[in-house]
């Protein structure tokens, strides 16, 4: 059963929970209506209007997950959010590798998962989640945002959305504990954005575009792409490849 800690305002729920992780039990959730310096992957900022979105972090202390297979934690978090949002919208929700949550070609949720190691095992993970719930206006520089309110045409209870996600994540992480780190992989691939057997356009850091098909995601989180030009499978870490997504202006 999750334990919830509400903060009226905090720079980052992840930063706060990381500092307290050794003192708190697994399943602790820190949440706030006002996050002033939210963080995303690789130093990206997460901007959210106060009180409009679900901004929270979940502490997970696994019994036994080796570091090289820790991507199963990301799979559990992504599937929890995608499953709840699918139920709330009645529409397909996908996971853009590694763990952004998409409705169509628009981002509805972002995550930042930060883990510490205890030898070769994962000691604890802080799963930071930001879900666009009731926000309808976004920074014009944000490339492709959307929200539950925009998708459904109505407002939602932010705390209820968060609690449903945390309950689902608790169930999925318990499944990993029972069945092993590969337990959720098939489900993750089944909702993976662009995992459709088709060729799509990707971008390398130097600006080179190439066509490839998503083949798999490895237990360490590396994305496996089959390049169209030579048929070879290449593996990429996060930020080594980008998705060329073309979104029409709203």
Q: Looking at residue 141, what is its pLDDT?
A: 78
Confidence of residue 43 (pLDDT cuts 50, 70, 90): very low
Summarize pLDDT for 192-208 with one digit per residue, the tens.
999 999 999 999 999 99
d(CA 162, CA 82): 12
Distance CA 56, CA 165 (A): 11
100-109, 137-146, 152-161: which has the minimum mean pLDDT?
Answer: 137-146
Specify whether the CB–CB gap between 95 and 190 falls below 8 A. no
Distance CA 137, CA 147 (A): 9
Q: What is the mean pLDDT of residues 91-106?
A: 97
How far is residue 219's CA from residue 2's CA, in Å, rounded to a whole number?
27
- Judge: domain 200-243, CATH 1.10.8: no
Residue 19: the pLDDT is 96
- C-alpha dihedral (158, 162, 168, 170), degrees to nearest 10: -160
Q: Where are the domains of the chain?
A: 3-190, 200-243
> What is the pTM for the complete model shown?
0.94
Structure tokens that stand for 205 in this block = 């850091």
Contacts of residue 68, Cβ cutoff 8 Å, sequence gap at least 6: 219, 220
Rounded to an integer, the average pLDDT of 241-250 is 77
Question: E-strand spans in 132-228?
Answer: 200-203, 209-217, 223-227
pLDDT mean over 186-191:
98
According to the model, what pLDDT value does residue 83 have? 98
* Distance in angstroms (rounded) separating the CA atoms of residues 77 and 114: 12
pLDDT for residue 39: 60
CATH number attached to the domain at 3-190: 3.30.930.10
């Amino acid at each position: 059963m999750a334990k919830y800690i509400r903060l009226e305002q905090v720079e980052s729920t992840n930063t706060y929970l990381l500092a307290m992780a050794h003192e708190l039990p697994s399943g602790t959730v820190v949440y706030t209506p006002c996050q002033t310096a939210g963080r995303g992957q690789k130093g990206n900022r997460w901007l959210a209007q106060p009180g409009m979105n679900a901004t929270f972090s979940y502490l997970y202390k696994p019994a036994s997950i080796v570091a090289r297979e820790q991507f199963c934690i990301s799979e559990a978090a992504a599937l929890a959010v995608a499953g709840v949002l699918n139920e709330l919208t009645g529409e397909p929700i996908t996971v853009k590798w590694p763990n952004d949550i998409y409705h169509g070609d628009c981002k509805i949720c972002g995550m930042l998962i930060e883990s510490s190691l205890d030898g070769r095992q994962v000691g604890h993970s802080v799963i930071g989640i930001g879900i666009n719930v009731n926000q309808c206006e976004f920074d014009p520089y944000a490339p492709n945002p959307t929200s539950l309110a925009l998708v459904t045409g109505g407002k939602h209870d932010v705390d209820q959305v968060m609690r449903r996600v945390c309950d689902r994540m608790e169930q999925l992480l318990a499944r990993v504990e029972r069945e092993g780190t590969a337990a959720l992989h098939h489900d993750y691939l089944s909702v993976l954005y662009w995992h459709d057997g088709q060729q799509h356009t990707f971008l390398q850091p130097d600006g080179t575009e190439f066509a490839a098909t998503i083949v798999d995601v490895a237990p360490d989180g590396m994305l496996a792409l089959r390049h169209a030009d030579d048929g070879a499978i290449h593996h990429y870490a996060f930020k080594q490849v980008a998705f060329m997504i073309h979104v029409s202006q709203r």
